Structure 1
Amino acid sequence: MKCKSLILSVLSFILFGLSTQLLHGQDKAVQLFAHRGGAHEQDENTLSAFKASYEKGLRGFETDVRITKDGVYVISHDPSLERTNGSKGIVEQLTAAELRKVKTKKGNQFLFLDDLLEYLSDKPSIYVEFEMKTRPEDYPQEKLEPYCDQLYKKIMAKKPADALYVLTAFDKRPLKYLKSRYPEVELLYITSSSLSVEVIKETQELGIKRVGCRLGGTSRDLVRAAQKEGLIVSCWPGLSVDDFLLGVSLGCDYLCSDVPVEVFTWMKNKMPWVTIK
């Protein structure tokens, strides 16, 4: 009971602080986006996940892109099919035809990039992150460069006119390559660490303006410092409404969530003065 009371007290303090701050700043807006289409609410990275989240009001999404053995772009976070599909095999070692026969544990079809892009093509004012899953052992430089070229051209060809499509990666190689080839491309550098002076410097050295870092350990002062340097700050993971509230209190521009529908609904009902983009 003591632990529960402490949690409620902390949450009340956060809400009081946010309310005091945001009631005086009605233009506060945060981009909420659904991690893998809503990883803890939906069947992650399936077309049904993106459809369900969109129909519930979400306008921001994140997904993961790989290529098959025969060069077809598919949506999959893991290289292995075991966790999500209960099957043996590595995505990059299978053909498109083989993956078309694969279903998730919940019975959904394996998702291909073209199908996702087609679904999103008529959705106005959306934000989508396409994470490039380019481990060096799977994507040596001679494979990486055509992967980047074709992926960029594919997503831009189907992008709604007013949408914001961003290519992201932990791997700096595709970010550097795309920046050199397509100066206008929107890129985001993801790091598994919290925001720090070193992460800000790394992002600036890449010549890009977006950084995605861990929510835990990130401070408000560092978020402000990054923004002062012209960076746009995104934080993850978002496992709960509390995580989202923490991100808002830190002043983050973009917040990733595995429970985006829950967050969206809670914010709409409890904190309507915060605009969720």
Structure 2
Amino acid sequence: MLRFVLLCQLMAGLVFALNGYADDVHPMPLILAHRGGAFEFEENTMEGFRACYERGIRGYETDIRMTKDGVLVLLHDDSLDRTHNASGPVEEKTAAELKDVQTKKGQSFLLLEDFLAYFQDKPGVYLELEMKTSNKELYPDARIAEYCDKLYAMAKKYKPTDSDYLFTSFDERPLVAMRKLDVHWPIAIIASKPLSLEFIKRAERLQATHIACQISGTSREMVQQAQKLGYKINGWPGRKVEDYYLAIGLGLDVACTDIPTVIQQTKEDLPARDKE
């Protein structure tokens, strides 16, 4: 019954998108599993990433931080309190101190190297590696270079040749550093605001290739304008099926969602011609 309701809802969204813009049909947005599907699994865990991959999802977003002794790990918050059986920032702990830390449901704390190693033999994957460096107390300017050098080296080491790995951030500092390390590697600027001309100019200044904007308030016209300039547009947050309808209507390239397997199921239930 649930699948039938979701299918009807998604078909309604597609009718709006395709009928409203029949002369300019954009491909369906890539499903991006936000933190590995944060509303379906414990966020930033191998359980979530593995389950999504086995379900056929090929887009993933995760959050990268660095321990006191320079080890890169996956964690969204400035502290471990909400998601793990520990407290305080990982930036103030060593990798050895995190060895026995588990999530609230008993999963292992995830290192970036283990995460990337899982995808190393899985071609055709799109990864957004968000650099969580905005807190300048945890990441003063002097620490950005070390963080970026290590992240770039590890991503380059593990990335399959036919996969797309992006460095993304709200913080301009690591984006500037990454562009200096590699003029060709795709990067994305994120902001908690709709797409606008000001946002596009900011992306241009940073030599970004992608823009991650809030879906709410973003117009199809602005998305098309950015795409004509060569940018790929990611819309967020995605917390319900209706958010994916909006992503379709806006013509987004990527739809960041906390319910990736739900969206994937509704897409699979569509007639073949509607998925082209």
Instruction: Say whether the fold is shared (TM-score over 0.5).
Output: yes
The aligned counterpart of 2:4 is none
Q: Deviations over 1:25-76 (max 9, x none)?
A: 7872421110001110011101111001101111110000001111111000
Q: Deviations over 1:223-254 (max 9, x none)?
A: 01111222111110110111011011101111
- Separation of aligned partners in 2, 1:196 and 1:215: 12
Task: Tell me the percent identity.
Answer: 41
- Separation of aligned partners in 2, 1:10 and 1:115: 38
Structural mapping, 1:64-143, within 5 Å:
64-135=63-134, 136-143=136-143
Letter in 1 for 2:84: N
Structural mapping, 1:224-243, within 5 Å:
224-243=224-243
Q: Deviations over 1:128-182 (max 9, x none)?
A: 0000001222111211011101100101100112110000000001111111221
Check conservation: 2:10, 2:266, Cα contact below 8 A.
no
- Separation of aligned partners in 2, 1:271 and 1:19: 14
Letter in 2 for 1:42: F
Aligned to 1:157, the other structure's residue is in SS state: helix
Q: 1:26 to 1:227 in 2, by over 3 A?
A: closer
The aligned counterpart of 1:155 is 155
Shift of 1:90: 1.2
Aligned to 1:146, the other structure's residue is in SS state: helix
Aligned to 1:33, the other structure's residue is in SS state: strand
Letter in 1 for 2:164: L
The aligned counterpart of 2:267 is 267
- Separation of aligned partners in 2, 1:157 and 1:30: 28
Count, aligned residues = 268
Aligned to 1:114, the other structure's residue is in SS state: helix
Letter in 1 for 2:258: D
The aligned counterpart of 2:248 is 248
Note the residue ranges of structure 2 that are not aligned, 5 or more in a row: 1-7
- Separation of aligned partners in 1, 2:187 and 2:26: 26
- Separation of aligned partners in 2, 1:268 and 1:11: 11
- Separation of aligned partners in 2, 1:65 and 1:124: 21
Letter in 2 for 1:231: Y
The aligned counterpart of 1:195 is 195
1:39 aligns with 2:38: yes
Structure 1-normalised TM-score?
Answer: 0.91
Q: Deviations over 1:183-230 (max 9, x none)?
A: 111100001111111101111111112100000100111101111222
The aligned counterpart of 1:56 is 55
Shift of 1:109: 0.5
- Separation of aligned partners in 1, 2:112 and 2:252: 29
The aligned counterpart of 1:5 is none
The aligned counterpart of 1:144 is 144
Shift of 1:22: 8.0
Note the residue ranges of structure 1 that are not aligned, 5 or more in a row: 1-8
Check conservation: 2:18, 2:25, Cα contact below 8 A.
no
Check conservation: 2:11, 2:270, Cα contact below 8 A.
no
Check conservation: 2:26, 2:251, Cα contact below 8 A.
no
- Separation of aligned partners in 1, 2:10 and 2:25: 21
Structure 2-normalised TM-score?
Answer: 0.91
- Separation of aligned partners in 2, 1:119 and 1:190: 26
Letter in 1 for 2:117: E
Q: 1:269 to 1:137 in 2, by over 3 A?
A: same
The aligned counterpart of 1:17 is 16
- Separation of aligned partners in 2, 1:127 and 1:221: 26
- Separation of aligned partners in 1, 2:193 and 2:57: 27
Shift of 1:14: 3.5
1:218 aligns with 2:229: no
What's the C-alpha RMSD, in Å, of the aligned pairs?
2.1
Q: Please say which of residues 123-132 and 139-148 is displaced more in the overlay.
A: 139-148
